[in-house]
Copies of this chain bind each other. A is one copy, B any other.
Amino acid sequence: MRYDLEGIRRSVPKAVLYARQPTLWRYRELLPLESPDDIVTLGESATPLIEAPTLGEQVGLHKLFIKDEGLLPTGTFKARGAAVGVSRARELEVTALALPTAGNAGAAWAAYGARAGIGVVVVMPRDTPEVIRRETATYGARVFLIDGSIADAATAVREAVAEYGWYDASTLREPYRIEGKKTMGFELAEQLGWRVPDVIVYPTGGGVGLIGMWKAFQELAAIGWIEAKLPRFVSVQSTGCAPIVKAFAEGKDESEPWLEPRTIAAGLRVPKALGDFLVLRALRESNGTAIAVDDDEIRDTIGLIATDEGVLACPEGAAAVAAAYRLRQRGWLEEHDEVVVFNTGSGLKYGEALPGEPEELASGAKIPRAAATSEEPFSYERAFQVRAGEVRLN
């Protein structure tokens, strides 16, 4: 999608945003909808940019932020692509669409498709987490499970689309999904007061979120809302599926298909991203890098983020935090770098990856005192006394 950026620069001051709702639709001049009547929405509020001081201390960064995409409809950033993609599909009078998915894009398109009254067909690997499989089917999409990876799912979809005339909603085979995902970049720039951070650490399956943000920052610079400066982009993958990391390390322009992708981070099981060459270009142009972490690190990091900051990250988001730690250890990140890590989805979709273990309390047994330590017994009297004189409720 190309916009009349010069026209927007001349006629749209960024102050127009401030009267608009804080959803991704506030950036409508840079989105591909012809008419707001076609918007299909489930309430895509701006996701919070959460300061993570405790986690930052452990990672060794003074300015660490988590952009928590788990609070979007369907629980992942995929809602952005689906909201814009389905809205545009409805505008184009699409009645049936199909897509392959590692899981969460399928769920998001199924939800927005249901809302729009468009028939949705999804093909996903059998080893996608169960809640995501059931979720997608619950929206009324036809969900087909296959042996194999998203690449095999893509083959099945490509054949069906060609034969039945369905709209092909595969990522980067239609031009609108990425337009939705780029709103991560718009939101982040706005939340930082119209600038970019030093570094963005992004878990990379298909990589469209990263490419989208790269496009977003270029568009914002072109219309004069931010300076023309890119953050350093970091692509994070799993050691069980790291085609972009490998290609980056080897100086290649394109990745090679990864055989047998295996990782608990389902969204990273993409053997070869269609937009790999764009991701690699964005990494190099921004002086970024690519790095892989393993499943044990991911699992431990889910626990670390949760106990430090109260954020339940998905394995992909945890991978990004683990990567930030490794890059800090290596000195690639410096302690004063402003680093934004994307948690691309809610950990609720990955119950089996959550490290927390409840304990049993036998019938009649007491909670042990050591379950928590209180320096002094709590009393309201004491609490209010301590603060007497400084109470200024209202």
A contact residues vs B (CB 8 Å cutoff)? 3-4, 7-8, 22, 29, 32-35, 41-43, 45-50, 54, 68, 71-75, 91-98, 110-115, 117, 119-121, 123-124, 126, 130-131, 133-140, 142-148, 156-157, 159-160, 163-168, 302-303, 306-312, 346-349, 351, 354-361, 363, 366-367, 369, 371-378, 380, 383-384, 386-387, 390-394
Contact = CB atoms under 8 A, between A and B. Distances in A.
Nearest to A157: B367
Contact of A95 (B3, B42, B43, B373): B373
Which of A46, A49, A312 has the most B CB atoms < 10 Å from its CB?
A312
A356 B310 contact: no
A274 to B, nearest CB: 18
Contacts of A347: 135, 138
Given A166-B378, A393-B3, A359 B145 contact: yes
6 contacts: A73-B311, A96-B378, A123-B367, A133-B356, A146-B363, A156-B361
A98 B377 CA distance: 13
A151 to B, nearest CB: 14
Contacts of A131: 131, 348, 351, 354
A363 B146 CA distance: 7
A110 B383 CA distance: 22
A22 B355 CA distance: 33
Contacts of A383: 92-94
Contact of A358 (B75, B143, B386): B143
A159 B366 contact: yes
B393 A138 contact: no
Given A95-B373, A372-B98, A46 B48 contact: no
A328 B269 CA distance: 47
A180 B119 CA distance: 40
B139 A307 contact: yes
A338 to B, nearest CB: 18
Contact of A45 (B35, B45, B54, B137): B45
Nearest to A113: B310
Contact of A378 (B75, B130, B165): B165
Nearest to A7: B394
Contacts of A376: 165
A130 B71 contact: no
A114 B307 contact: yes
A391 B360 CA distance: 63
Contact of A167 (B302, B306, B378): B378
8 nearest A-B pairs in the assembled complex, by CB-CB distance: A43-B48, A165-B377, A137-B356, A138-B356, A140-B307, A115-B310, A119-B372, A131-B351
